[in-house]
Structure 1
Amino acid sequence: MPDYDDDLRLAHVLADAADAATMDRFKALDLKVETKPDMTPVSEADKAAEELIRGHLQRERPHDAILGEEYGLEGTGPRRWVVDPIDGTKNYVRGVPVWATLISLMAEGADGYRPVVGVVSAPALGRRWWASEGGGAYTGRSPASATRLRVSSVGRIQDASFAYSSLTGWEEQGRLGGFLDLTRACWRTRGYGDFWPYMMVAEGSIDICAEPELSLWDMAANAIVVQEAGGSFTGLDGTPGPHSGNAAASNGLLHEEMLSRLAPRP
């Protein structure tokens, strides 16, 4: 198995730079915010953080491709960095501290691209999570002060804590009935949203989470952290990895039942 330690160290450097840039503009009264064609907001901080990350990567990994939410795909090849400069922009622009920079390295294999490095950095929460393929998943303020992550051992849906982002999207896919039934079956439900529920699955503080509509940059870093913590990360159709346009993550023990309950209904 390839050694991705140098790439993980670089991802931490990229996250440090992005954290400084995003925190500098967090809660700024003169923050500039625009609306993208898909009607989602983008702030000057989103653009600045992605430009900063791209600049670092072009110097340090000039032969790697880069895919980012704000500026698309640049380059080709068997290695691709995937970046969401601010996951949770709506929170960011309203002063809610639940947002993060997501940085992942994906490597091409027989089954397509898979995440091999992931860093999720939430500076307003004072938290960071990371993982590399075969190296485990960790959380801490830095690699020097880290705690290894492990998913929960909850084995029954009625004992499970379930997190989701919002009700939006479930009805359009014919999954609203199953979604509501799952919320009723679980011990506890909360709408934390964005990156955070995936990190809580990896930490073992919640057991399952799902979202009906996502992009690759929303999922790649989250996926490897969950997987290296011992959990499962798939699309709602059960396809492993972050390529389905939606996501389901769990401690592994509850995954099949969650997917079954969330299946579309006539």
Structure 2
Amino acid sequence: MAIGLIIIGDEILSGRRVDQHFPKVVQLLAARGLQLAWAEILADDPARITATLKRTFASDDIVFCCGGIGATPDDHTRLAAADALGLPLVLHEQGKANIQQRIVQMGREAGHEVDLNSAENLHRLKMAEFAQGAALIPNPYNNIAGFALHKHYFVPGFPVMAWPMIEWVLDHHYADLFNRAPHLEQSVLVYETAESALTPLMVEIEARYPRVKVFSLPSVGDANTRRHIELGVKGEPAQTLTAFEHMVAELNKLKVEFNNI
């Protein structure tokens, strides 16, 4: 079962903000023995968001979607998710209650009573309008929930909210997947060698050890290191250990300079 990530926001694509979700989601998954299979960054474009969600809803993937679930004109994710499934947007009663509770709390903290029927506060309820049948994802930061549909989990763009919500989804819905596939990774730094010279070895290792993947990460070097390639193997632990020993032995035969990491 693949896990995907969708990040939504013009500000990411324009460079006004640097995405933080991708590395954090990779970290959250790795801590549970899981791995991200794909990621996409989308603009605040309703048609593109809808088309992307139609495609991902049709898959069997677990998908986390960050951003665009607020109530401002550039927040399109809630409607796009409904459109992608051909479902109406409806006001979620518990989501509504959560928002109203938050409004009252903020009013008390500011020292004044609130009018839940004011235009501003009625507009805030749009954040509880989800595709019919959606379930809530609790938001520990301000109690304004995200929503879940068909193994897709929609959370705000704010990291302080999104990350604990993603953790909650993983821990409450997918704990049975944690650490099901033991994983090992080992690599060396190979110096001053062309990647093409190592390719036959990489092909041989993947052919011989089907539960292992080879990776090659070239670097031109910097002030602290020479030109090198991080060459490694990853996958099922027992085969990875054997594949790594084989790789080291072949590197010695090639008489290339390398160091273990």
Q: Which has the larger radius of gyration?
A: 2
User: TM-score if structure 1 supplies the norm length?
Assistant: 0.22
User: TM-score if structure 2 supplies the norm length?
Assistant: 0.22
